[in-house]
Amino acid sequence: MRCSLAVGAATGALLAALVVTPRSALAESPFQAGRQSIAIAGGYALGLPIGVAKGTDLEDVRMGAFLPSWSIGLTNPLVPDSWLHGNLEFMVEGTFLFNTEPTNGFAGGATANLRYNFLRWRRVVPYFEIGAGFGGVGFDLDGQSNGFNFFLQAGLGARWFVKERVALGAGWRFHHISNANSNLPNLGLDSSLFLAGVTYYLD
């Protein structure tokens, strides 16, 4: 019992130290104009029964996701002493989706994203992001045609710095696939995408 309490107390102290350590404790803030990073994220997506897709095979979609990315800071930290204190980041991301339900299939492409990082909480950095891109889809669904499609997405998440240059992350996105009616059917595949990954900040 005493051993368990000691382990619990030590774990709590470690987590508290990581969370309350000031950003100034890092050798250099990674959220600067020109600062680059690379990341790998994975996730799982659930089809959403929205609009005309409701009642079709699109709402039954289940997808795995693999998302490698490269990012660069566009600004130094903005609006100090405000809850909006943060910086803007540009990200190029590979999009690889593996459909497992109701059919097996694959989609691959790329997106360009803008991400705003909120910098008030020291080692824990929430963010909001939007992005758009394109790729090829081969899901063999009744409600969405294969071939060239556009990807649209918006979401939020957070990164937690475990080392000076390394952050763990988790997030959620609304993800949309459609082809602007260039090929039918085009009901639009909407999904709720949950992500987790790791980011490494370069010199």
**Domains recognised in the chain with CATH numbers:** 25-201 (2.40.160.20)
Strand partners, 74: none
Structure tokens at 127: 């963010």
Q: Is 43 left (phi over 0), alpha (psi -120 to 50) or beta?
A: beta
Model pLDDT, residue 190: 97
Number of Cβ within a 10 Å radius of residue 37: 20
pLDDT tens string, the chain, 203 residues long: the values are 433 444 344 444 433 433 443 444 344 689 999 999 999 999 999 999 998 888 899 999 999 999 999 999 999 999 998 989 999 999 999 999 999 999 999 999 999 999 999 999 878 999 999 999 999 999 999 999 999 999 999 999 999 999 989 999 999 999 999 999 999 999 999 999 999 999 999 97
Model pLDDT, residue 48: 95
Q: Helix, strand, coil: what percent of the chain each, to 5?
A: 15, 55, 30
Q: Residue 173 in contact with residue 196, Cβ under 8 Å?
A: no
Q: What is the CA radius of gyration of the chain?
A: 20
Model pLDDT, residue 52: 87
* pTM score, whole prediction: 0.83
Model pLDDT, residue 121: 86
Model pLDDT, residue 175: 98
